[in-house]
Amino acid sequence: MADSSERPIIIVRKKASHGGHHGGAWKVAYADFVTAMMALFIVLWLMNTNKQVQEAVGGYFKDPTGKSRPAGAGQTGSGAAAPIGSGENFALTRANMAELKDQLQKSMQQMTDFDRLKNQIEMTVTAEGLRIEMMESEKGTFFDTGAPSPNSKGKQFMVALAQQLATLPNKISIEGHTDSKPYVGKSEYSNWELAADRANAARRIMQQNGLRADQVMQVRGFADQHLRHPEDPLNPSNRRISLIVQYVVKDPPDPKDAAKEAVQAKPEPAQTTAQPNPAAP
């Protein structure tokens, strides 16, 4: 008979649980996934924005500190060189008007038939602003001879130009000019009416295609009183439409406000109290 004192030894083995701590590897993978999704959404958003926003974002990544010359759209500051379509905050001053000229020229080069028109388009920076001249040839470039409304090429150029200038806060003047050859066709219609009608037709087309109603400040007809070539009054380039992008001039400070600020900033005189003189009787 076996000894009752000898009891069997029971060994209990516990299964290792898999629900415990797995480390931080999953956090890294999840962070990578979130970053990739954010980048995807940013790309999708940029694809649906306009060109100026895309250029602004690109300009930021090229120069995050903003210390170099601004290249993005809609950027302001001294010497801001934002491209056309730069946004509401971009104002053209004497410092950056030449850069607008360069940007406009690059933009116009993308137009169809620009090679045929480039000799009839001239942009110059003047004391009044950026002057854009649309000059006629002998056969007519933007207007048919004697016609008050632009032809198809003239409309195409004016529409493209309006879409570029519409994003600027600057005011615009539109001028109509003719050569010295008398207008033939209507007894009560002269070069004065023709110059004014052409300038007004340009204004109408450009406002229908981008220019704001309050952006055009003047429409002027000069007939042959401001010839481009005074020595050759019948030169066809005297017949032209001129657009002047005016400088933005800051309003001078109000003298009353300046005087008020000076009074407020003036320190008050120190108040002294009389001290009794112990030596006085």
CA atoms lying within 13 Å on the CB side of residue 82:
31
Residue 273 domain-assigned? no
DSSP 149-202: SB-HHHHHHHHHHHHHHTT----EEEEEE--SSPP-S-TT--HHHHHHHHHHHH
Residue 232 domain-assigned? yes
Give the CATH number for residue 202: 3.30.1330.60
Residue 122 domain-assigned? yes
At residue 148, the pLDDT reads 95
Residue 181 domain-assigned? yes
Per-residue pLDDT reduced to its tens digit, 220-240? 999 999 999 999 999 999 999
Are 202 and 220 in contact by the 8 Å Cβ rule? The answer is no
Per-residue pLDDT reduced to its tens digit, 122-163? 999 888 889 999 999 988 899 998 999 999 999 999 998 998
Q: Which residues pair with residue 121 across a beta bridge?
A: 134
This model's pTM is above 0.85: no
Residue 21 domain-assigned? no
In SS3 terms, 250-279 reads as: CCCCCHHHHHHHHHHHCCCCCCCCCCCCCC
At residue 239, the pLDDT reads 96
Residue 112 domain-assigned? yes
Residue 24 domain-assigned? no
Asked whether residue 175 carries a pLDDT value surpassing 50, the answer given is yes
Number of domains, the chain = 1
At residue 228, the pLDDT reads 94
Q: Please name the residues in contact with 175: beta carbons below 8 A apart, sequence gap of 6 or more.
A: 195, 199, 220, 221, 222, 226, 241, 242, 243, 244
Average pLDDT on 86-101 reads 65
Residue 201 domain-assigned? yes
Domain with 214, as residue range(s), is 83-252
At residue 103, the pLDDT reads 82
Asked whether residue 81 carries a pLDDT value surpassing 70, the answer given is no
pLDDT band at 243 (very low <50, low <70, confident <90, very high): very high
Are 157 and 229 in contact by the 8 Å Cβ rule? The answer is no
Asked whether residue 80 carries a pLDDT value surpassing 50, the answer given is no
* Distance set, CA 83 to CA 27, 57, 87, 95, 215 (Å): 43, 13, 9, 14, 19
Asked whether residue 90 carries a pLDDT value surpassing 60, the answer given is no
The first and second tokens of residue 87, run together, are: 């946004």
CA atoms lying within 13 Å on the CB side of residue 139:
3
Residue 158 to residue 152: CA distance in whole angstroms: 10
